[in-house]
Homo-oligomer: A and B are copies of this chain.
């Protein structure tokens, strides 16, 4: 049996051309997405509507034939399913009823998580049933550190002062929150696999806010525990880790967490990743989303350079961060063509 291109790359096989998908590929840059979004009500309503969430997940595949669909959802579904108040204010991002210290943890209800998250699992099943036999379905969750940032800050943050102050002044209480999130993440992702997810991605979007010592404690260690638990339950399901802006801490993440692949932000030099990471795991990334927004010669040069640098090992072409909503859809068409037509240069 031949593996789907995405699964083959995750199994360490070099694919020519490499499989590709784009972070936030189902989103506001597509007019058909904006139409469904307007029908759905709020953003959270869309995430919790299996019919519409399945529809927007599939939209970019119809246009561009990516090798993977990623569940349309949000990393804050876990805190919401644990009972934390959450709303998405238009143009403002998420607003949560912040948990400032360990006393707030009692309000979380892990026992109710699957009931509340049921529409997400239903969406996963629907998407899987709709996919052809060469397209892979990716389920995902936020990593505990990143989710904890939102839960404690109550939304986005520049300095992460509240969440870090919690961690520094009450390390045992903060570890409790991390433990709750490790367990919830394993349960939530395992349910996604049972519903049909074939690959899982862990988004640690705020990994770059951590000092090296805290990265070890709050990014590497929880990720290692989640990966170990999921591998025990679902040994065949590959896991991609995305510790954004981890920089010099990337190697310890790759060596210690057990992930099958690492997703790279745009700051990571591709030739460094080829030399130091690709022998250990598959790599995914890392085109600057603004290059895709800009298009033209810059897009062509950057995409081909990335393909030349990473395409001769296990590689999944992606952006280094989510697609920007002003991106012209035809730039994605151009990118898909560049990837499909690419051939590795014959080495002299």
Contact = CB atoms under 8 A, between A and B. Distances in A.
Interface of A: 159-161, 164-165, 168-169, 171, 208-215, 245-250, 266-270, 272, 286, 288-291, 293-294, 296, 298-299, 302, 305, 320, 324, 326
Contact of A212 (B268, B293, B298): B268
A158 to B, nearest CB: 9
A248 B272 contact: yes
A211 B288 contact: yes
Given A169-B294, A211-B267, 5 more contacts: A161-B293, A211-B302, A245-B267, A248-B250, A249-B269
A14 to B, nearest CB: 22
Contacts of A267: 208-212, 215, 245-249
Contact of A168 (B159, B160, B168, B294): B294
A141 B298 CA distance: 30
A298 B169 contact: yes
A108 to B, nearest CB: 24
A161 to B, nearest CB: 5
Contacts of A164: 288, 290-291, 293-294
Contact of A290 (B168, B248, B249, B299): B168
What 7 A-B pairs are tightest by C-beta distance, nearest first?
Answer: A247-B247, A212-B269, A168-B298, A168-B294, A164-B290, A211-B266, A211-B288
Contacts of A247: 208, 245-248, 267-268
Contacts of A298: 168-169, 171
A256 to B, nearest CB: 14
A321 to B, nearest CB: 8
A246 B272 CA distance: 14
Contact of A161 (B165, B250, B324): B324
Given A211-B320, A212-B268, A290 B160 contact: yes
A69 B171 CA distance: 35
Nearest to A294: B168
